């Protein structure tokens, strides 16, 4: 009888542990990952040195970003850097994306391009910011776009 009691206790502990795990994280308990992609574009007007492109993570989901890409066309001689801000917990954190100068690309612009494998997280209902910065406010950066790919769960 003593051995049977241990089996019953082990079964109860397993049931309690499973119940707690499902209660603590009900969104991920039975949900399969869902593919997610977002692409945004904008313009840095003359007089500005930065651009924020934003979207909100869907309610009840956590976003896992696996790839970040972007292009930034700036007036010849200017530089552009790309980054992404995500939030898990109380504050947003900036992650810089490796950005490379492709060089002159028609119309007096230089092309800066980024593409990087990452593993970034953003909580449900938080704002993800795709950020572009350049080193001079002179002229207009006509087409700036950034894209992310990953999944929701």
Among 1-15, 25-39, 124-138, which is the least confidently predicted range?
A: 1-15
Cα 28 from Cα 22, distance rounded (Å) = 8
Q: Where are the alpha helices (DSSP H) in 25-91?
A: 26-29
Domain residues of the chain, as ranges? 1-30, 31-152
User: For residue 96, what pLDDT is reported?
Assistant: 97
pLDDT tens-digit map of 75-121: 999 999 999 999 998 989 999 999 999 999 988 899 999 999 999 99
CATH for the stretch 31-152? 2.60.120
Asked if 62 and 122 touch (Cβ cutoff 8 Å), the reply is: yes
Query: CB burial class (10 A; 0-12, 13-18, 19+) of residue 37?
Result: exposed
Contacts of 48 (CB under 8 A, 6+ apart): 137
Average pLDDT (40-64) is 96
pLDDT tens-digit map of 14-30: 444 444 343 344 445 56
Cα 89 from Cα 42, distance rounded (Å) = 28
Structure tokens that stand for 63 in this block: 């976003």
pLDDT band at 142 (very low <50, low <70, confident <90, very high): confident
């Amino acid at each position: 009888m003593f051995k049977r009691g241990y089996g019953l206790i082990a079964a109860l502990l397993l049931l309690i542990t499973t119940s707690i795990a499902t209660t603590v994280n009900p969104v991920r308990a039975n949900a399969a990952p869902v593919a997610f992609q977002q692409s945004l574009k904008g313009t840095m007007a003359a007089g500005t040195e930065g651009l924020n492109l934003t979207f909100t993570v869907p309610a009840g989901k956590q976003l896992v970003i696996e790839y970040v890409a972007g292009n930034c066309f700036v007036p010849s001689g200017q530089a552009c850097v790309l980054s992404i801000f995500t939030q898990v917990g109380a504050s947003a954190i900036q992650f810089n994306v490796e950005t490379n100068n492709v060089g002159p690309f028609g119309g007096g612009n230089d092309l800066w391009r980024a593409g990087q494998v990452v593993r970034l997280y953003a909580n449900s209902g938080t704002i993800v910011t795709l950020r572009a910065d350049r080193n001079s406010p002179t002229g207009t950066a006509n087409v700036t776009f950034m894209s992310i790919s990953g999944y929701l769960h």
